[in-house]
Amino acid sequence: MNGFDLQKQIREQVRWLILATLDIARPMGANEDMVLSAINAVPVQITRYELRKEMGYLETRGLISIESKSDPSKKWFATLTRDGIDVVEYTVECDPGIARPPKWWD
């Protein structure tokens, strides 16, 4: 499909916002309520299910680690991995799938 895919853009933006939120929460990390609250403070509104889906994507890419994932009754708790920190700090290239803003400083 050619053209603008709004849902894809939102997913990629949410992934960046998750990484940015966890960067601010370093070194302790953050639970899913804190991450969801930070994301919903911007014009992007997502559900807990959508948040968990994108957090799972980032975990699969090795950018975050998630605790309490195996027990659905518990809140997820996430931290950035070494690779996630490198992406947020612009020390490595960011693969497609994450809407990292362009670096504007040198």
**Cα–Cα distance measured from residue 65 to residue 105, given in angstroms and rounded to the nearest whole number:** 29
pLDDT for residue 3: 66
Q: pLDDT for 4-34, tens place per residue?
A: 788 999 999 999 999 999 999 999 999 999 9
* Fold (topology level) of 6-88: Arc Repressor Mutant, subunit A (1.10.10)
Strand segments (E) across the chain: 30-31, 64-67, 77-80
Q: pLDDT for 78-103, tens place per residue?
A: 999 999 999 999 999 999 999 999 98
pLDDT for residue 84: 98
Q: pLDDT for 34-70, tens place per residue?
A: 999 999 998 888 999 999 999 999 999 999 999 987 7
pLDDT for residue 43: 83
pLDDT for residue 28: 94
pLDDT for residue 71: 79
In this structure, which long-range contacts are made by residues 20-27, counting pairs with CB atoms below 8 Å and at least 24 apart in sequence?
20/88, 22/64, 22/78, 22/79, 22/80, 22/84, 22/88, 23/80, 23/84, 23/85, 23/88, 23/89, 25/79, 26/79, 26/80, 26/85, 27/79
Provide the angle, in degrees to the nearest 10, between the axes of the packed helices 48-60 and 32-40. 110
pLDDT for residue 89: 97
pLDDT for residue 70: 78
